Structure 1
């Protein structure tokens, strides 16, 4: 029984789910600017549920389509090891993805706007397209980045109000960052080429620079949020430290492109999504909500000790 439960947790990549929640929460807070201490709108909980369903369904579907490859390269995974049947995994993935879509539609009804349903439908299409076909192509990392951006937009759409154009910069930058992570990890099961890894790290850097420009552009448009006075310098210093720490791990993988190094760099980059989201929330809403987002690191770190994130 315990072995089966652990197999499902590995199949779902459970530690990664905290990053999906962080994206949705960050997107919602950046648009709503909900004062700390005020209970967020119920639509937030609907899209958090939708995001978790989409993420879980996508992770399972990924392994269903990768079953034959994993039998050769990763026989220890839940499906090729026989701990979970492919048919059952496919059924659970279908139910989760359908639940994600239904929750997105419910959010649209709640906020009286079609946007959450449109974003949810787009996210569902992007997930299935990536898992079924695009993953093995050159546009695979782009598709994965689109999934991450849409997850951010799902949170933004739950507010029900019109997003300002500068608010789209954060999900776009984070999507590019995740595209870089995906590219970096593509040869994780075998030997990775330093030039490919360097290119992927450059894409990650570009995404982080773009996401980090969101506060500056907001200030220029008169939407400073929390960033007033000397806080701007402190915020940019904090963002720079985070970017440097993430890229340093990526550089270690470039210098020594072994499977262990690549996997460590990828896991670090994925976990860092929570911290990056928290710092973006800090710029818009202040320390209190940023700490709430940052608390998602606790379950992510705890679960990642025993469960692989890749």
Structure 2
């Protein structure tokens, strides 16, 4: 049906466009950023305040994530009509104009809610919105697209910590965000090949060694963090094996698992950050891994 349709956005198409099955990884990002920035353990935050802070940050990040995914499909509608005709817009389940409007509205609301929490949160939210738009507009036109997507997740850490008034520039948070950047760069490189169900070059996947090595380093001496690291390494190893094997269907399955593994990475960092409030946060982040995989079976994550 091309890129135009009389339908605005059908209910299921709204979920597919937003890749909502991946939202648990957004929640785990919020948990990790807040824990790494020192909220709760160092700031005397009560359990209720910590839960409220995580909820506020997760809502803001979810608005950015879903809005960005909507705009991704809206900008790519003509390409998808040729390469992925089952996507909602070319299939006729969503009008391109409506998807554009919804995407910009969600991102605008995300910036507004971030700004309510202070100038630093507003600044981080604005930078995140800019990075998302840059990716959505340019990702089919530049080899730097994986780095831009990595920047989006890095800024998600900064935005989440700023929303709760924690240190967006805390050294541990920045180091964790750097590892997340590399993890997302690697999986985004693989995702760029997904439409063709093949991986032409595998060497850029070497960047995945950075978050794995960093997560192992901070886990040493912490049994809970080491257990989560083993799960992270197993998930990454499974995905990389599929990417190298290159059998039909391997690339999309590997990308989906790598996306879900973001939650395990977050869990490792939270567990390694200390005790007290970080314990339930680490468990919550770890649970986001199987939850994401389960949701991806209902709503495609890519």
Into which bin does the TM-score normalised by the smaller protein fall?
0.7 to 0.9
Work out the CA distance in 2 between the residues paired with 1:232 and 1:135.
42
- Counterpart of 2:124 in structure 1 is 119
Q: Is the 8 A contact 1:31 1:159 kept in 2?
A: no
Moved more, 35-44 or 203-212: 35-44
2:46 pairs with 1:40: no
1:138 is paired with a residue whose SS is coil
Q: How far 1:238 sits from its partner (Å)?
A: 4.2
Moved over 6 A (4+): none
1:178 aligned to 2:184?
Answer: yes
Shift of 1:261: 0.1
TM-score (structure 2 length as normaliser): 0.87
Gap regions ≥5 residues in structure 1: 109-113, 217-230
Change (3 A) 1:245 1:21: closer
- Once the 2 structures are TM-superposed, how far is the Cα of residue 240 of structure 1 from its aligned partner? 4.2
2:257 maps to which of 258, 262, 268: 268
| Structure 1 range deviating more: 237-246 or 151-160 | 237-246
Q: CA offsets per residue over residues 151-205 of structure 1, 9 Å max, x none?
A: 11112223424343233110110111101100112111115345x22x2321122
**Offset of 1:301 from its aligned partner?**
3.2
8 Å CA contact retained: 2:57, 2:164? no
User: Offset of 1:48 from its aligned partner?
Assistant: 1.7
- Within the candidate set 222, 226, 236, 1:232 is matched to 222
TM alignment of 1:2-81, pairs within 5 A: 4-34=10-40, 38-41=47-50, 42-81=52-91
Give the Å deviation of 1:249.
Answer: 2.1
Q: Are the equivalent residues in 2 in contact too, given 1:167–1:214 (CA < 8 A)?
A: no
Give 2:162's aligned residue. Answer: 157
Query: Which of 228, 233, 244 is the matching residue for 1:243?
Result: 233
Match of 2:151 among 146, 154, 161: 146
The equivalences for 1:167-206 within 5 A come to 167-194=173-200, 196-197=201-202, 199-206=203-210
Provide closer, same or farther for how the CA distance between residues 298 and 208 of structure 1 changes in structure 2, counting only shifts above 3 A: closer
TM-score (norm 1): 0.84
Aligned residues: 287
Q: What SS does structure 2 have at the residue aligned with 1:76?
A: coil
